[in-house]
Structures are given as structure tokens and as C-alpha cells.
Structure 1
């Protein structure tokens, strides 16, 4: 019988919808033997269907807020209790809200977006580090995969201060995690514009009163050119990194000077 560590044992956050849900589905459907402990905010029909299909031997779920330190601790403990190990940590939590100008955004809302996009991930990683272990043939390094955003550096949209600055902090955290933990493979994930409820709000005009017309028009242009990607695309890159199909030497990877590895639509090479 194969050792449980021959397959990835994953703690995955943000799996109720979007990128996270697609990562979960692809891990379970394409990689038999993978076990996944999910931490997500609330049940969705798609997630419930996967729970019923695969059962607790492959999939368990803790429901709750990733910003709640007790919930995060519960999810980490459940991973070890249910599966005896943790070889992978995949974080796909995130929000774009609030979309408001610097003059108008309440400080409390800015703190909230940092809680979701940065501090919840920091807490998750810190609590998981003692439990991450090698896996597979050749004892592959434990793996941490964090979805961040290409808005972290030079992208400018009016009203996006919270999103851009919190993602900048998260990307820098990925650099430093790789620097401090050379025994891990640390991947940052940088999607292009991905179809999601956040992007849908842009097309529905919910932010037209904040974003400048030329900024809003960029999204219309990308939609006409077919450049709004479905979440399946970036989820596939994440799953390939988690299962060893993308490695540090792969053409899809950019290595930061700190040792962090970046994958995603921004780095798809021909």
C-alpha cells in the first residue's frame, strides 16, 4: 500500500467559489489519492456536491471566517487529525472591497481588507508551518501556494487603494517567506483578469462612480479581446504546481531573487 505522503495532503482556503473551487475540483478529479482539508466561509452547492461525491476520506471542510484565528487554528488541527500530515498549503482568499477613493474610504474598511487579503494569510501560514512535511517520491519539499495579484506593483485604478496595497503587502510576504524558509517551495500566483464576482461588479457598473472612464474601458476592451480568463485557467496552473507538474525549473515559473517562485497567466511563456 502506498504511503499517504505519496500524495498531496492539502489545506485549501477560499474553496467556495472561483479559483479556489476550481483548484479543489481539479485536485480531486484529476489526481486520485489527494486529500484536501478546506477552510471556507460558507457552504455552496458546488462545494457540497464535491463533499458528497468524494466523502471524508478525500475531502473535509471547516466552515468559518479565515480572519478568525480560532477558525484557522481549527482548520490546521483538522488537517492533521483527519489525514495525519500536511504537505501543501494553498491560499486563495481575497476581496477587492472596498472600492472607494482615498478621500472617502473609512479607515475601518481599509483595516478589513488588510485583514482578509494579508493578515488572514499570514496567520494561516504561521500556524501551518510547524505541520508541513515532505511528500511523494524523492521526498519533495512541502509547498505553499498563495494567490496574490498583479495589481501589487504598478497597476493604477481610482478607488483600488485597499486592494492594491494589501496585495503588495502579500506579495512581499511571499518573498520573505521564501527567503526565511528555504526548505519549502513557495509559489506566488499572479493571474491576469479572471472572471469572478469582483470583476462582474465592474461590468455591472457598480464602480463607475469611482473608477475613471478610461480605466473602466480597459475592462471592456479586454472582454472584447477575450482576455477575461475563466478561473479554470489559473486553477490549472496552481494544481500543476501542487502535483509536481510545474517545478522550479519549468518554463512557467519566474524565480524571484528571494527564492520565491511565481506562476500564473502573467508568466506563461511560449
Structure 2
């Protein structure tokens, strides 16, 4: 029997690329979207809102009823957010964490009982290289992904005895439509950060537009699924994106901060 893969946020971008790639490799793929009827893909789609616990339970139950199991859960659904910490509405910060952090945890909690019963399973959380460092005007996004990195470490130890593996995959910039769905704090006329934030918004969008092909993430995920003894942390991106994490480990805090400030022209 082929492995059953349940992937959140599979209607576009990285999630869609992963789902299509795994489908072509012979996996039984169930993707999710808030509006699955509007998505035209060769794999099965299920309605899911990761901020709604009832929706999560219904989606997981539907997959189990149809496939009889969930071998791999890929938590890919996520939401971008930009803005100076001072100017960004706190409610928008909470909403971002509800999607990127608490929503992921709720999906995991819904799937774990089935994986424990199977005595096997793999959970792959899509985080971000941005989660390894606090980036200016992306502090909330960095924080939500960084929190997920740490939760994954804890969860890995908690569920290992049940035969369940837990993995983080941190992508860098990929050419997707994430910028279109991102919450942008407005560039307020009276903001102390007006000019620098406006410049960095353009820089962030340029990074996404010139990003790598999402197929690289799909291939990385496939290799992880096929690995009998995967690592806990993976990074998928350009050399400098991955090297920036190494630099943070070895450089003094102020030196590393200066490098980031120079990069973002602050």
C-alpha cells in the first residue's frame, strides 16, 4: 500500500508543489484548502481551516475514513506578516500565531491519536529560515516560525516511543504567491519607520519574486519521507540563506546584528 500523506495548505505555492510531486511519486495525497472546490488538482482535496478546531477534526476524520490511515502529516499552511513591531496591530500578531503556530499544533493534536494507534507516522512542520533569526519588519513572522522550531524539538522527544518521527523543514525564499496573502501593516504617514519600512517592503517582495523553484522543497520533503532515520532540522534554500544561520552561531551578537542592518539598509 502507498503511504497516505495529509498536507495542509496545498492549493498553491510550496504546498501545491509538494502535493503534486508526491502524487506523481505514487503516494496517496490529501491536500487541504479553505475552499477545496475551487482547486483543480489531480490529488484529493479536503476543506480545512487551521484556525478552527472543528474544521480540523472533520478534515482529519474524512482522510482517515477514506484512506484508513495517515502516514505523513505535512503542516505547510502558513501566513506571512510584515510591519514594525510598534505599528503592527496586536490582533494581527495574534492572528498570525493562530495560523502559523497554534493552528499547526491543533492539526498535530488531531492526527496524533491515529498515528499512536498505528505505532508509526511522520510529522513534517514547514517553518522558515527566517525563524532562526529576528528580522526587521518581519519580527512576528520570525517569532511564529521560531516557536514552531522549538515545539518540534519537544514533540519529537515526547512521541518517539510511539514510533512517530517529527521533523522541521525551513525554506528560504521561494518564488510563490505568499506575498499576496501576507498581512502588510500599512506604511503610516506619521510613522517613525515610514521610509525604512517602505524600502524593506519592496526588498522583501523582490526576494520572493527572485526566489528558488518550489520543486526543490518538494524533492527535499520526498527524501525526508523516504529516510528511515531523518534529522530533526532541515534547511532548504540558497547558500547564503543557510550560511546566515551558521554565522549567527559563530559571530558575536552585535557583529551579526550589524550584518543584518547593513543588508536591510537600516
Name the TM tier (shorter chain).
Answer: 0.7 to 0.9
After TM superposition, list the pairs within 5 Å mapping 1:244-255 onto structure 2. Answer: 244=226, 246-248=227-229, 255=231
3-state DSSP class of the match of 1:190? strand
Secondary structure of the 2:73 match is: strand
Residues 211 and 11 of structure 1, relative CA distance in 2, 3 Å threshold: same
Which of 29, 37, 43 aligns to 2:30? It is 37
Determine if contact 2:124/2:166 at 8 Å carries over to the other structure: yes
- In structure 2, the residue corresponding to 1:196 is in which secondary structure? coil
CA-CA distance at 1:38 after TM superposition: 2.2
Q: What is the Cα deviation at residue 147 of structure 1?
A: 0.3
Are 2:61 and 1:102 equivalent residues in the alignment? no
Q: Relative to total residues, which structure has the larger helix share, 1 or 2? A: 2
User: Does the 8 Å CA contact 1:93/1:116 hold for their aligned counterparts?
Assistant: yes
- RMSD value, Cα: 3.1
* Pairs within 5 Å for 1:27-66: 27-29=22-24, 31-32=25-26, 34-43=27-36, 47-50=39-42, 59-66=43-50
How far apart in 2 are the matches of 1:64 and 1:210? Answer: 37
User: What's the CA shift string for 1:126-168, capped at 9, x where partnerless?
Assistant: 1100112699xxx9x41111100111122422x2122011111
Instruction: Using the TM superposition, give the Cα deviation of residue 211 of structure 1 relative to its aligned residue in structure 2, in angstroms.
Output: 3.0
In structure 2, which of residues 126, 131, 142 is the aligned counterpart of residue 164 of structure 1?
A: 142
The CA distance in 2 between the partners of 1:18 and 1:209, in whole Å, is: 30
Report what 1:72 is aligned to: 56
How many residues are treated as equivalent by the alignment?
A: 230
Deviations 1:57-105 (A, max 9, x none): xx432223111111100111011100111111111011112x1211111
- Where 2:41 maps in the other structure, the secondary structure is helix
Q: Give unmatched runs, 5+ long, in structure 2.
A: 188-193, 244-266
Check 1:134–1:187 CA distance in 2 against 1; reply closer, same or farther (3 A cut). Answer: farther
Distance (Å, rounded) in 1 between the aligned partners of 2:208 and 2:59: 38
Asked if 1 retains the 8 angstrom alpha-carbon contact of 2:130 and 2:172, the reply is no
Deviations 1:91-122 (A, max 9, x none): 1011112x121111111111100000000000
Contact persistence 2:174–2:208 (CA under 8 A): no
Work out which of the residue numbers 178, 189, 197 in structure 2 matches 1:211.
197
Residue 221 of structure 2 corresponds to residue 241 of structure 1 = no
Q: Evaluate the alpha carbon distance shift between residue 13 and residue 174 of structure 1 in structure 2; reply closer, same or farther with a 3 A threshold.
A: same
* Equivalent pair of 2:9/2:77 in contact (CA under 8 Å): yes
Cα deviation digits, residues 12-37 of structure 1 (max 9, x gap): 100000111011101111x22x2122
The match for 2:73 among 89, 96, 99 is 89
Provide structure 1 residue ranges, at least 5 long, that are not aligned to the other structure.
51-58, 250-254
User: How far apart, CA to CA, are the structure 2 residues paired with 1:74 and 1:215?
Assistant: 38
